[in-house]
Amino acid sequence: MEDRNLLTERLHVHIEGRVQGVGFRAFVEYNARQLNLKGWVRNRWDGSVEVVAEGDRMILEKMLALLRNGPRGANVTNLVFGWQPASGEFASFSVRRTD
């Protein structure tokens, strides 16, 4: 049987703009769970939002497209992301405390 981690990747994203106070974290959590992704989302003290998600690359690309726009009321001005191998450390997708 194949190791599932060999088929998954990690997407790490920083989203800037009007992304706090508009339901961005709830939007990310809802969509990540709908897409069966694992990981977390949190606000940053600098006003940005950070997302770490693991799953199939094609599904992560869908999440990335959603993050480019965000929920109604958000205004994404900059999105910086990178790809890494999945660690498999997450059991679900959650909202973390501000860092």
pLDDT, tens digit (0-9, with 9 covering 90-100), for 52-85: 999 999 999 999 999 999 999 999 999 999 999 9
Q: Which of 43, 44, 72, 75 is catalytic?
A: 43
pLDDT tens digits along 17-39: 999 999 999 999 999 999 999 99
CB 54 within 8 Å of CB 39: yes
Q: Please, is 55 exposed, middle or buried when counting C-beta atoms within 10 Å of its C-beta (0-12, 13-18, 19+)?
A: buried
Clarify whether 25 is annotated catalytic. yes
Distance in angstroms (rounded) separating the CA atoms of residues 96 and 99: 8
Spot the catalytic one: 5, 25, 42, 57.
Answer: 25
User: Which among 10, 15, 8 is positioned nearest to 79, based on CA atoms?
Assistant: 15
Q: Please say if 43 is a catalytic residue.
A: yes
Angstrom CA distances, 16 to 10, 39, 59, 67, 70, stand at 20, 19, 22, 10, 11
